[in-house]
Amino acid sequence: QNEKELQDVVKQQEEKMLQLIDKSGEVTRLKGELSQLKRSLQRAETEAKVLWEEMRGQEPKVDTVYVQERVLLRQEVDKLRLLLLEKEDENLLLSDKY
């Protein structure tokens, strides 16, 4: 009887663990999706900022190659800033952990 009850408890615990693993995978997937959306938003905001700056101070004729280069440079700066923030967050988590 005790062995049967113990097997039932173990089975229930295994089912709970599988559910938690499924939920963890879903959370991880959603975090990845959120991260991609944030990057896309940041790229769009960067492009809009650069275009606005260029249009504000330029004559009617705008050098599109120059504008594209500025957009790419700004995106690179924003990407590096984001990587720095992610590393700082990781370091903070590690220091909290230890």
Q: Which residues of 65-92 are buried (b: 16+ CB within 10 A; e: fewer)?
A: eebeebbeebbeebeeeeeeeeeeeeee
| pTM of the predicted protein model | 0.45
Lowest average pLDDT, out of 51-55, 75-79, 87-91, goes to 51-55
Residues 30 and 15 in one domain: yes
Residues 46 and 2 in one domain: yes
**Tokens (6 digits) for 26:** 């879903």
Residues 6 or more apart from 50 whose CB is under 8 A from it? 67, 70, 71, 74
Q: Give the range of the structural domain holding residue 74, as residue numbers without chain letter.
A: 60-97
**Three-state secondary-structure class, residue 61:** coil
15-32: per-residue pLDDT in tens?
888 888 877 777 778 888
Count of structural domains, the chain: 2
